[in-house]
Structure 1
């Protein structure tokens, strides 16, 4: 990721919805050294902030809706959540949760692209999002896995104005070429039943050690530590409740 702070149109937050919040708190605190702060207000519904030192880097919450899977959700910063929700709807996507106020913190909406990949948007007020990006223990990359890469390029560039950098096997998303994420073509790589999805990667000092630690804490390895052509060393993991996430070797900002 070439961004080190939240900017409009780029990733600003990641949130885990999980079937076992207490187990997830213990797992991620041990894995990344995050501090855990759960909002005590009943109306907060058990929402938990995950902190790197004193800086917020991610969120964690119980499953709120019937049928909601345990998964990480990527959120993008926007100036107007209502306008983006309407843009998503008009371009064939879906509004899973209409824009709503979150205390005095900001305005939030859950959306899906035309292929069904879920993401959210955040219109900041008192809370801007992650206090640090692209440092060990924080969000370092986001990735869309989809079978409709052409449709995704059309949709996301129109909704968010992202730049697109094409490689031989991988597409990267950015703000005027400052890349913050990528797109993986699911064709021939995933079983037909696996839906498209967005996934976060967290930057770490040592990918192999982090993967070993995750397994010892009850996770499983989806993609073993590997060096990508022209990219960093990375691994993909699944926590004990089923949420999939990646880790990659931190690089200088």
Structure 2
């Protein structure tokens, strides 16, 4: 795999309250193989699809921390990103640190409270399979503060927020150097008031409806039934530990 482009999402991983059961659920749902690291990495698991890294998972370390998926944006300087996050009104949750020789990472909150991370590649570049069933297909910021987010991510990564018409419907996208890198969905009054802004990850699926049904059969929950959207047919699912993620068929952006 060539080095990932700085400023593009390049990895996702799950912090989970039950790594063994999460491994059972996701390997059966997506056909992943679990590659478990040594004790020095706390049992961190790399999920592989056709032998290539698709996503990761590890245990929770903070008391009261919820099970959740994290989005990582590639960078060539995690420390510089941390400085820009603070200058733009965000918060450094986990200061940049080295993960052995694999790379360097940090975790943040944006100006509205949405969590995201960065990965500065070492020997581990990030995901090396995308856009096929069972791999990362799309990342989307869900927020109530569109203007603030446009300013924040523009300052941190150089992203530009633009409105596009997709399948005859308006949709907000993030662009970097003219290329689409992610999406943005506005949380209007129909969203629960207690739901915080967040980054949603989408895994590609051959059949969104079948994948949602399969997730239920494995002990998961369908949080939003399969439906059509500007970016394709999707469903929001919840794993047995409460981790939310989406599956998407036929990305159209």
Range into which the TM-score falls when normalised by the shorter chain: over 0.9
Aligned to 1:77: 74
Match of 2:150 among 132, 153, 162: 153
Shift of 1:164: 2.3
Shift of 1:169: 4.1
SS across alignment from 1:170: strand
The 8 Å contact of residues 16 and 71 in structure 1, kept in 2 or not, is answered as: yes
CA separation in 2, counterparts of 1:236 and 1:8?
28
The 8 Å contact of residues 137 and 251 in structure 2, kept in 1 or not, is answered as: no
1:56 aligns with 2:57: no
TM-score between the two structures when normalised by the length of structure 1: 0.93
Shift of 1:126: 0.8
CA separation in 2, counterparts of 1:148 and 1:9?
21
- The gaps in structure 2 that reach 5 residues or longer are none
TM-score between the two structures when normalised by the length of structure 2: 0.93
CA separation in 2, counterparts of 1:239 and 1:100?
29
Map Cα deviations across residues 97-130 of structure 1 (whole Å, 9 max, x no partner): 0000001011100011011100000111111100
CA separation in 2, counterparts of 1:80 and 1:29?
33
RMSD of equivalent CA atoms: 1.7
Shift of 1:170: 2.5
SS across alignment from 1:128: coil
Map Cα deviations across residues 172-205 of structure 1 (whole Å, 9 max, x no partner): 1132332232111112132211111111100111
- The gaps in structure 1 that reach 5 residues or longer are none
Match of 2:17 among 16, 19, 22: 19
Matched residue count: 248
Shift of 1:163: 2.9
CA separation in 1, counterparts of 2:112 and 2:63?
21
